[in-house]
Amino acid sequence: MLVAATFIGAATLFTTGSVSAADGPLTLSPLLAEAEQDRIEAIERAMPSTVCVFVPGGGGGGSGVLISPDGYALTNFHVSSPAGNYMRCGLSDGNIYDAVIVGIDPVGDLALIRLLGRDDFPYATLADSQKANAGDWCMVIGNPFLLASNLQPTVTWGILSGVNRYQYPSGTLLEYADCLQTDASINPGNSGGPLYDAEGRLLGIVGRASFEKRGRVNVGVGYAISINQAKNFLGYLHSGRIVDHATLGATVATDEDGGVRVSNILESSDAYRRGLRYSAEIIEIDGRVVHTANDVQNVIATLPSGWRVKLVYRYEGDTVETLVRLMSVHGQDELLEKMAGAMPPPPPREAPKKDKDEEKQEEDDGDDAGPETAEGDVPAAVLAVYEERRGFANYFANQQQQNEFIESLRKQFPNGDAGHTVTWSIQGKTSKDEKVFIYVSDDRLSMVVGDTPIEPVTKSDLYESVEARSFAGAIPALDAWRRMLDKGPKKFGETIYWGTMPLAGERPLRDCVVGSDGEFEIRWLSHPENKQVECIEVFADRDEDPAELWIHRDSDDADAAPTRLEIRYGVDSIFEMTIDSWDVLENESSDDDDDNAKDAGKPAQQGQAEKQG
């Protein structure tokens, strides 16, 4: 509508014949005036969410964009990296805010920061960048050449010159896949800032531009990371981690006759386990049709490592629809090493000036005074929400997510408070009407299906049940779930909030928490809205399928009880039971073990009432 209005208005204006002073003041076509007003209003809607980023100490800066009222903002990794953990950010309202680093994606050149001091920041509306087309009007708002010293950002207007572009990385970092190209003027300092559509919705994060060889002068070819890619990584960035991108574990080539075929594949990849082989034709990845090797890279490079996505391929005449767990481009140490090599040294920061009494005191203290702290110029508000830890941009952010996870988990069960050791007694039947009894406590784990009893004694027994793809893989999943409720993330084992990912390739993205339990890696996947645990994955071997315990409910309500349990390995469902009762029995002390055994099969409230009486 805006494009049409502009051209129609212009045509009307320039076909009215000659204009003289006697004709009176020139009147614009109503369509042209309406188009101009629409553009002004879109800029006014968009500008308040634009962030001008400044590195303390005068070490540079760039741009960013607010995406939530509590201050979370996106920018580029190459904008945040010179600043380290602390930045100063200005908004068009004239105010300056301290900001802390949250998460980093050095491969995709993204960073999540958080502006502090408010919980009602203006923020951008996120568009669907897959619906953008070449020729659409767009605008870039930011801080080119750090001109926004008065905190009034620069606006440039243009069109999308291309979509689904690919810009090669520097080594394996700063890769721009499936990105948007624009002729709206982009210059140094615009990096990290927003690319908006004509309505003022956020289409992407500006990051790269093509410049003349003789200097950094814009030539009308700039690139933005698509907001859809940023959406894929938001959960990972909120985890506070330094995150990696995905790889299929296979290389591909465009076929001369059309289509894209596998040219090589790792036998350790999940894609290989799902039957993908040399010369297979890949048709779809994560719901997107691919025709060339460039298409494949454009899709895969916008996905986080560890995601499980849908894959459709054709091999030996058969079309296969399956799910594939994506591998990481780097090992963690490799990623940290490459990232460190790509980061510039932090800018020098002036030490606070000292009065004569302080200088005299240091002379008197001599060597006992100790080294100066580098934290002296970092605001207390930033230090309060920042914690350094290897592999993390900000471990404090991860701890917050862990706390939210255990709080929501404990609301889903009676006696879910910390330190309330419980026994679970679960009864039901299979689809073949076989009775099922599962008993999970600190000193006893057992499962009986029909006439088949399973009672693992050691961790090795549990490990073997998962390796053997047995329905007894439900036992370590339920036991880990029960003990997480009791102990919490800090005492369960090495536990981190991983981020968000699809569940069996389906959206919405689920929250994922990962915990180490001896030789097992346990993953809890929870619905983002009701916070109910929907699936628990138990990995005995990273190169094998985990045991997946699926928890089904008849309602989406937050307090809905489980009605069915299912065990899957890979894409195969091997066991399912309908739940008749799920009794939660509190263990008050070791002397109560016999009472708990007697209470098995009674409702939780009944067993507790008898003990209180």
Close Cβ partners of 74 (under 8 Å, ≥ 6 residues apart): 64, 65, 67, 110, 111, 112, 113, 192, 205, 230
- Name the amino acid, one letter, at 488: G
Chain segment 525-544, per-residue pLDDT in tens: 999 999 999 999 999 998 89
- Cα maximum dimension of the chain: 106
Q: Quick check: 8 pLDDT over 80?
A: no
- CATH number, domain of 324, equals 2.30.42.10
For residues 407 and 299, membership in a common domain is answered with: no
Q: Quick check: 216 pLDDT over 80?
A: no
Domain assignment present for 285:
yes
Q: Structurally, how many domains does the chain consist of?
A: 2
Q: Quick check: 375 pLDDT over 50?
A: no
Domain that residue 285 falls in: 246-328
Q: What is the mean pLDDT of the chain?
A: 87
Split at pLDDT 50, 70, 90, the class of 347 is: low
Whether residue 562 is preceded by a cis peptide bond, meaning omega within 30 degrees of 0, is: no
The DSSP secondary-structure symbol of 601 reads T
Q: Quick check: 184 pLDDT over 90?
A: yes
User: Residue 534: CA atoms inside 13 Å, Cβ hemisphere, count?
Assistant: 23
For residues 319 and 404, membership in a common domain is answered with: no
Give the Å distances, CA to CA, from 258 to 142, 285, 298, 316: 42, 17, 17, 17
Give the mean pLDDT of 360-378. Answer: 44
pLDDT of amino acid 415: 64
**Percentage of residues of the chain with pLDDT beyond 90:** 72
Of residues 265, 300, 273, the one with CA closest to residue 284:
300
Give the Å distances, CA to CA, from 22 to 15, 136, 410: 18, 40, 81
Q: Where are the alpha helices (DSSP H) in 202-249?
A: 227-238
Chain segment 124-163, per-residue pLDDT in tens: 999 999 999 999 999 999 999 888 788 899 999 999 999 9
Contact 445, 536 (CB under 8 A): no
The token pair that represents 218 in the structure block = 């814009």
Which has more pLDDT, 577 or 16? Answer: 577
Chain segment 73-112, per-residue pLDDT in tens: 999 999 999 999 999 999 999 999 999 999 999 999 999 9
For residues 450 and 586, membership in a common domain is answered with: yes
Of the given ranges (29-38, 542-551, 593-602), which has the lowest mean pLDDT? 593-602
For residues 486 and 597, membership in a common domain is answered with: yes
pLDDT of amino acid 270: 97
Angle at 519 between CA 584 and CA 452, to 5 degrees: 55
Q: Which of 328, 354, 387 is the last residue of a domain?
A: 328
For residues 588 and 488, membership in a common domain is answered with: yes
Q: How far is 73 from 104, CA to CA, in rounded Å? A: 12
For residues 558 and 467, membership in a common domain is answered with: yes
Close Cβ partners of 21 (under 8 Å, ≥ 6 residues apart): none
For residues 316 and 441, membership in a common domain is answered with: no
Helix axes 395-410, 474-487, angle to 10 degrees: 100
Q: How far is 575 from 435, CA to CA, in rounded Å? A: 13
Strand ranges for 243-336 from DSSP E: 246-247, 250-254, 260-265, 281-285, 288-289, 308-315, 318-325, 327-328
Residues forming the active site: 78, 109, 191
Of residues 231, 230, 232, 235, the one with CA closest to residue 398:
235
Run of H or E including 113: strand 110-115
Domain assignment present for 35:
no
Domain assignment present for 187:
no
Q: Quick check: 266 pLDDT over 90?
A: yes
Domain assignment present for 257:
yes
Q: Which long-range contacts link 604-613 to residues 24+ away (Cβ below 8 Å)?
A: 604/414, 604/415, 605/414, 607/583
The token pair that represents 558 in the structure block = 């937050």
Q: Quick check: 30 pLDDT over 70?
A: yes
Q: Quick check: 355 pLDDT over 60?
A: no
Note the pTM of the prediction, 2 decimals: 0.86
Split at pLDDT 50, 70, 90, the class of 215 is: low
- Name residue, tokens 């849908």: 310
